[in-house]
Amino acid sequence: MPKGAPRFRPNNNTGQGVTPRRKSTERGYDGHWRKLRKAYLTEHPWCQCDECQEGKLRLRAATVVHHRIEIAQRPDLRLSWDNLQSMSKPCHDRHTGREHGFEHLPP
């Protein structure tokens, strides 16, 4: 009997499939970021997404700090307090999915 759903496993020998993700420190999430993230979540413990703020969703505890303008677009704003937004994990996943073209995600 199967133990779970089949998983996609790219064939790395052919060069097809998913490109390996760079390490978090290479993407800008170093010790300075972790310290800032902790301070921001302490100061902003509730989800600041539009749906939660407008009352469309039940207000949730924030566990993720989102960059309003992505690091890839503006690396100079990586540690800028004004570029941050606290979010719950489900809200952040939904927001990121919409930004990257997955509009079918429910609120």
Question: What are 11-66's pLDDT values in tens digits?
Answer: 555 555 566 777 877 777 788 999 999 999 999 999 999 889 888 888 899 999 99
Entry pTM: 0.71
Question: What are 62-91's pLDDT values in tens digits?
Answer: 999 999 999 889 999 999 999 999 999 999
Convert the chain into a string of H (helix), E (strand) and C (coil): CCCCCCCCCCCCCCCCCCCCCCCCCCCCCCHHHHHHHHHHHHHCCECCCHHHHCCCCCCCECCEEEECCCCCCCHHHCCCHHHEEEECHHHHHHHHHHHCCCCCCCC
Binning pLDDT at 50, 70 and 90, where does residue 100 land?
A: confident
